[in-house]
């Protein structure tokens, strides 16, 4: 009987020892295969549309346009961008290198400030870009012409 108890204790011990890494594994926070419900209804998100939903600020577009009109002497109209580059200026896409330029500091001081974002000019468009990643959060088309 003691031999059976020893064998049973050894089997249970090895089972617990083998399963402990599984108990300590990172659950993944919905990054695994169990989160398939969201994949079926994507709409146009993968087609480059303006459906990108970031967790960023809410932009008052008309307020920004009023500020730009009131401070016309702080910005210069940019040249229109080629169609291929213009097409790449969309929400959720990375800002193409060398396209955008910094705005006058006096104008930046009057535009709404959002932590982690900065305003930049690309041609006649005003962009709100995520500083850390360089991803475009908002595009205000043809407001700088």
DSSP 77-106: PPPPPPHHHHHH--TTSBPPTTT-EEPPHH
Tell whether 128 is covered by a domain.
yes
Tell whether 113 is covered by a domain.
yes
DSSP 97-140: TTT-EEPPHHHHHHSPP-TTEEEEEETTEEEEEETTT-BEEEEE
pLDDT at 39: 44
Distance CA 134, CA 95 (A): 6
Low-confidence ranges of the chain (pLDDT < 70): 16-54
pTM above 0.75, yes or no: no
Q: Find the CATH number of the domain harbouring 116.
A: 3.10.450.160
Tell whether 90 is covered by a domain.
yes
The total number of structural domains in the chain stands at 1
Give 26-39 pLDDT, tens digit per residue: 555 545 555 444 44
Tell whether 89 is covered by a domain.
yes
Tell whether 23 is covered by a domain.
no
Distance CA 132, CA 105 (A): 20
Residue 70 domain boundaries: 54-140
pLDDT at 48: 42
User: Helix (H, G, I), strand (E, B), or coil: what is residue 51?
Assistant: coil
């Amino acid at each position: 009987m003691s031999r059976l108890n020893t064998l049973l204790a050894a089997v249970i011990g090895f089972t617990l020892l083998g399963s402990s890494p599984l108990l300590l594994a990172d659950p993944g926070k919905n990054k695994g295969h169990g989160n398939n419900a969201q994949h079926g209804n994507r709409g146009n998100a993968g087609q480059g549309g303006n459906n990108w939903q970031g967790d960023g600020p809410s932009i008052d577009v008309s307020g920004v346009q009023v500020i730009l009109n009131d401070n016309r002497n702080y910005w210069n109209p940019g040249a229109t961008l080629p169609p291929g580059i213009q097409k790449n200026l969309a929400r959720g896409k990375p800002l193409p290198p060398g396209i955008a330029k910094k705005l006058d500091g006096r104008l930046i001081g009057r535009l709404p400030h959002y932590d982690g974002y900065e305003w930049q000019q690309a041609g006649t468009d005003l962009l709100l870009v995520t500083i850390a990643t360089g991803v475009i959060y908002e595009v205000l088309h043809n407001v700088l012409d």
